[in-house]
């Protein structure tokens, strides 16, 4: 089959679970395989999804990796787990976050809630709240006129609360990541991030 890649590895008995009558690898084993066979960004995208669905947690994955120290991929799993975040709500949010962190930026908070005098203003995809800098990933669901109206109203409220909000699209993430990175760095520097990235 075109596009199909097959990897072979031994599977420990404890790495197999039964779901709906089907034998599958455990969530921890699945994360290990993802970290071994995929590049770190794509592994984190999938691990974020498993974390978000509560199928495993960071502590369990770290323990799993450390228990396999010396075996192929245990360091890759630790690296992916260190970059993973259960707060990611889409693969593109995960890709954006991981690429920014791998480029040397401080780790952002995911799904950061902004409120003003106890009133909800917005929930931001990625935020550095100490600097009031945020990155929003704008997917296709932002295209409709009603959503566009809500997004602009929310953006105006954030600007009123002195937030810098940068927007990322699939095209920019694919074709102009250096531009995105420069914009986020400039925004953080403008807010005097304690260890401002250069």
Whether 88 has a pLDDT exceeding 60, the answer reads yes
Of the segments 2-6, 48-52, 135-139, which one has the largest average pLDDT value?
A: 48-52
Of the segments 76-80, 152-156, 191-195, which one has the largest average pLDDT value?
A: 76-80
121 or 87, which is more confident?
A: 87
Q: Are 98 and 191 within 8 A, CB to CB?
A: no
**pLDDT-above-90 percentage for the chain:** 70
d(CA 34, CA 28): 10
| 52 band by pLDDT with thresholds 50, 70 and 90 | very high
Whether 86 has a pLDDT exceeding 80, the answer reads yes
Q: At what angle do helices 74-83 and 58-67 cross, to 10 degrees?
A: 160
d(CA 109, CA 128): 6
**pLDDT-above-70 percentage for the chain:** 86
Walk me through the domains of the chain, giving residue ranges and CATH numbers: 13-83 (no CATH), 91-190 (3.40.960.10)
| 73 band by pLDDT with thresholds 50, 70 and 90 | very high
pLDDT of 22 reads 93
Which of 18-22, 39-43, 74-78, 90-94 has the weakest average pLDDT?
A: 18-22
pLDDT of 167 reads 92
Which of 75-84, 123-132, 135-144 has the weakest average pLDDT?
A: 135-144
Q: What is the pLDDT of residues 133-186, one digit of tens each?
A: 999 998 755 556 665 556 666 666 676 668 999 999 999 999 999 999 999 999
pLDDT of 152 reads 61
pLDDT of 8 reads 77
């Amino acid at each position: 089959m075109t596009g199909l890649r097959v990897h072979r590895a031994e599977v420990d008995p404890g790495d197999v679970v039964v779901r709906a009558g089907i034998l599958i690898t455990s969530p921890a084993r699945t994360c290990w395989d993802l970290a071994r066979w995929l590049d770190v960004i794509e592994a984190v995208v999938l691990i974020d999804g498993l974390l978000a669905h509560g199928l495993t947690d960071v502590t369990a994955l770290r323990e799993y990796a450390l228990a396999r120290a010396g075996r192929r991929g245990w360091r890759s799993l630790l690296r992916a787990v260190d970059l993973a975040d259960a707060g990611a709500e889409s693969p593109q949010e995960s890709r954006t976050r991981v690429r920014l962190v791998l480029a040397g930026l401080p780790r952002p908070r995911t799904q950061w809630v902004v409120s003003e005098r106890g009133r909800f203003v917005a929930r931001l995809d990625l935020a550095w709240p100490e600097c009031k800098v945020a990155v929003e990933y704008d997917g296709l669901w932002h295209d409709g006129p009603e959503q566009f109206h809500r997004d602009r109203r929310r953006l105006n409220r954030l600007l009123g609360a002195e937030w810098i909000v940068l927007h990322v699209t699939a095209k920019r993430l694919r074709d102009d990541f250096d531009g995105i990175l420069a914009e986020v760095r400039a925004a953080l520097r403008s807010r005097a991030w304690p260890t401002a990235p250069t």
